[in-house]
Chains A and B, each alone.
Chain A
Amino acid sequence: MPLILSEEQAMLAEAAGGFIAERGPISHLRHLRDTRDADGLSRDLWRDFGEMGLSGVIIPEVYGGSGLGAVEAGVVAEAIGRNLTPSPFLSSGLLAARALIDGGHEAQKADWMPRLAAGEAIIALAVDEGAKHRPDRIQTRAERAGNGYRISGTKALIVDGHIADALIVAARTDEGLGLFLVDPRADGVTVERTLMVDAHNAARIELSDVMVDADALLGAADGRLLDRVLLWGRGAVAAEMSGAAQGAFDQTLTYLRDRTQFGKAIGEFQALQHRAAHLYSEIEITRAIVLKALQALDAGADDADLLISVAKARAIRSGELAVQEAVQMHGGVGMTDEFDVGLYMKRMRVTSELFGDAGFHADRVARAGGY
């Protein structure tokens, strides 16, 4: 398969890019932040995502979605990254949708997926527990109890957790890691919104002897569903970061052309030209591996796991460089809240941690390489 977008994918990129730039520009994020919006995002916009077919981009058509794949999801995520648009796309349109498609019982699918696809429901995935993404060290327990399970544990960095209509909780059973569909209003669930540096949604959740039915378990409790959901999540976050890096870079290029010092545009100075050209190279190479990894996911390739880790590690490295150069090249105004580059920097920091930092993913690459 050629490593470029197909005609249909390019059309989606244009449509989604235009829609998201118009309806969810950076000023939208600023408004939500400055008004201390209780939801932290616009439910109207999420419904419009639904109407555009973006909420349900990976949801099968029989449930009202578009039935597309990882590359298309990446196209949407990239536009979101470029515009820093707060949206439940990652939590609900991607992670929850993936978990339900691959692990949901028919009734759960019929109940939730049409609403996800329509942008009417929000479901949050609760995996991490500590400062770092360590899915192999999950402490939250799901004990057999009566006809179902009793779940206890503490979860952190749950994207859209405080506005979720349902939670998907990763918990350890006697058999292995399972994902459980949990009602956030159930007894024993305490949700605390955490206001984050990037003004995007996150929450901490305490589960204390929360009782769920047996069929709350999605798929089998063997860890494979979580692995798969995380793989898709990492791919989407890498695409989002690639978009954010491009957004920061575009603003920086404009600044290099417009800002004058010593009687000329600062972009005329070779010291800055070379750094800009280096950054451009880093961003382009990341874009290539992100697309490669997403194509591998769609193809079910053997090396999809490795490629996704490479993509996430690269997206972090080039994204970090992009935002640091953005602030430095903007000089003093880059430090002001008024300019957008700081917002890119903050978002990059959060997405760097989401589903594994650069070290986490480089370690996986090393293990795959046998060293």
Chain B
Amino acid sequence: MSDLETFRAETRAWLEANCPPEVRGPPASEDDSIWGGRRAVFKTPGHRLWLERMAARGWTAPEWPREYGGGGLSREEAKVLASELRRIKAQPALLSFGIWMLGPALLAFGTEAQKTRFLPEIVRGEIRWCQGYSEPGAGSDLAGLQTRAEDRGDHWTVNGQKIWTSYADKADWIFCLVRTDPDAPKHLGISFVLFDMATPGVTTRPITLISGKSPFCETFFDDVRVEKENLVGTLNRGWDVAKYLLAHERTMIGAMGEVGAGRPAGQVAVDHIGVDDRGRLDDQMLRARIAELDVDAIAFRAALERTGDQVKAGQAHPAVASLLKYYGSELNKRRHELVMAAGGADALEWEGERSHGGQSARDWLRTKANSIEGGTSEIQLNILAKHILKLPGA
């Protein structure tokens, strides 16, 4: 047996013994999500156990170095782990902006002290992070942000406002872009800092979205004290960190539809519409549209895998994250349009047990943000035109 086959066999056996039954199968609702943090909420004791067991092996961040609590797996081993998790339909042991976004930036730009302090608790899901990027006046033009940090000698004082801060009201810490040099050109006066959301002067206000839910907040900073040791990267060069992190965020958003996909649209359609005497969905036009979606979704999964392998082999263009973000988010919107069509009138309920609180409709509406958050589709296309296609004037 090759090393990889041995690893697969051992992984399968370990998962069989350690993945609780409560976290197997598609999530019934958002309550299944494990976000960790100081105020962690677990749907069942099995959910808590799942996080603890996976975290103990570093498998919440399988490819991070062991010295920082990660799994230390090779790319190929991590693929095996992912496929074994898929095989038993295990839900993610931890959803985490720390793992998807901050961690990679810390690994690339953080000091040894920052890595040692923050990475292990991210792996264990002990601290929940939020992202302070967008502002009311700085959306697509993110580098125009105005939140400022004033040097007070041993610390900074931060004042300003962020918006669309995902789960700011539930987060313990924030990674935040602040202006540290108001006189420099806009990209060259920004720094990347970390601070505790419990610091005096931080307030959050959830924003109700068209889905009726409030995953995003307005976040206000009023004379917030930030320690100098919590600067990541070089002073006034936070844009480099921000862009690096954005590439990870974009890949994550692009992959979201594939990783978190619930019951496939084709199956939903069969459930609600039924099949004809040849076993085909009893709605030929819808069937064709769903098939086209599946074609694109399966191909897109291959693109995600290929990009990961290219990154590992040092063959990826940094801007390729924009491709994944653009395509994946548009694909996910299409998917949810079709899931709604597949559910028909059944998918229109907004409340009540039968519809799990209107989950289909709320999820559908939520996906409309996919092509806005983390940089709009139009911004991604701009980036591709400029950095990969090298079109003039882009």
Chain A residues near B (Cβ < 8 Å): 1-4, 253, 256-257, 264-265, 267-268, 270, 272-274, 276-278, 280-281, 284-289, 291-292, 306-307, 310-311, 313-314, 317, 359, 361-363, 365-367, 369-371
Contact = CB atoms under 8 A, between A and B. Distances in A.
Contact of B323 (A272, A281, A361, A363): A281
B391 A257 contact: yes
Interface stretch (B6-14, B109-117, B296-304, B360-368): B296-304
Contacts of A311: 299
A256 B391 contact: yes
Instruction: Give the 5 A-B residue pairs with the shortest CB-CB distance, closest first.
Output: A371-B266, A268-B393, A289-B299, A277-B384, A273-B385
B306 A288 contact: yes
A278 B381 contact: yes
B294 A369 contact: yes
Contact of B287 (A264, A289, A314, A371): A371
Contact of A288 (B269, B287, B302, B388): B302
B275 to A, nearest CB: 7
B266 A307 contact: no
A291 B299 CA distance: 10
Interface string B310-335: 10110100001001001100000000
A107 to B, nearest CB: 38
A2 B323 contact: no
A273 B292 contact: no
A208 B198 CA distance: 87
Contacts of A291: 302, 306
Contacts of A268: 391-394
Contacts of B313: 2, 4
B382 interface: yes
B112 to A, nearest CB: 31
Interface residues of chain B: helix, strand, loop or mixed (majority):
helix
A349 B309 CA distance: 33
Contacts of B267: 369-371
Contacts, number: 147
A3 B389 contact: no
Interface of B: 75-76, 264, 266-267, 269-270, 275, 280-281, 287-288, 290-292, 294-296, 298-300, 302-303, 305-307, 309-310, 312-313, 315, 320, 323, 326-327, 378, 380-382, 384-385, 388-389, 391-394
A64 B77 CA distance: 37
Contacts of A367: 280
B384 A3 contact: no
B298 A306 contact: yes
A2 B312 CA distance: 9
Given A289-B298, A366-B290, A280 B384 contact: yes
7 contacts: A265-B391, A277-B384, A289-B298, A365-B294, A367-B280, A371-B275, A371-B290
A255 to B, nearest CB: 11
A19 to B, nearest CB: 23
Nearest to A363: B291
A307 B291 CA distance: 13
A155 B149 CA distance: 76
